[in-house]
Amino acid sequence: MIKLEYFTPNDFQLLIDWINNEDLLMNWAGTQFRFPLTPDKLNWYIEDANDFNDSDVMIYKAVDEESGKTVGHVSLTALNRRNRSARITRVLVGNTGERGRGLGEQITRAVMKIGFEDFHLHRMSLGVYDFNQPAIRCYKKCGFQVDGVLRDISRQGDTFWSLMEMSILENEWRELNQHEEITTL
């Protein structure tokens, strides 16, 4: 099982080690950062984050409860308390050898639980590049639906990347969550 804990400066080096090339950085963070990732850039990233009552950005590390090791990263951004909405961003399973084992799904479900239960959100959204089929499958398994595709939104060298927008509503999440609780009893 995965638990989410606040991302702090003590976690910077591990994230820097994971994000070791420009394409991965772009896939993880879009245009928010330029390669290479540095402690100064990450200090800016966490500035004003993780105040439950006032921040519009919550940044987490994903910790494997059994081993105690940090295995990933996720952010809940654009937290809008008035509209009861937020955006899941920067989902990452850090160790490439751990990918494909359901950690991304666990991380996504953990941040969804925080959003819907702790922040009482009505809607959560995310964007994923349309070539990232493992992530798209993961988000669909978590209940996200495709809202549309922003075609050729980001130029990478001689190619363009398109961004798939996905979302899930509170009632959809509750229905899925209720079903999961019933099946585990």
The domain that contains 162 carries what CATH number? 3.40.630.30
Domain that holds residue 94: 2-184
Q: What is the DSSP letter of 96?
A: G
Q: What is the pTM of this model?
A: 0.91
What's the pLDDT tens digit per position in 52-104?
999 999 999 999 999 999 999 999 999 999 999 999 999 999 987 777 788 99
Looking at residue 180, what is its pLDDT? 59
More reliable by pLDDT, 45 or 101: 45
Looking at residue 7, what is its pLDDT? 98
Number of domains in the chain: 1
- Geometric angle at alpha carbon 80, from 78 and 82, rounded to 5°: 165
Percent residues over pLDDT 70 in the chain: 96
For residue 182, pLDDT beyond 60:
no
Distance of CA 159 to the CA centre of its chain: 25
Q: What is the mean pLDDT of residues 3-7?
A: 98
Q: Residue 123: enclosing H or E segment and its boundaries? A: strand 123-129
Looking at residue 31, what is its pLDDT? 84
- Joined tokens for residue 4: 């989410």
Gap between the Cα atoms of 165 and 128, Å rounded: 7
The answer to whether 104 and 138 are in contact (CB under 8 A) is yes
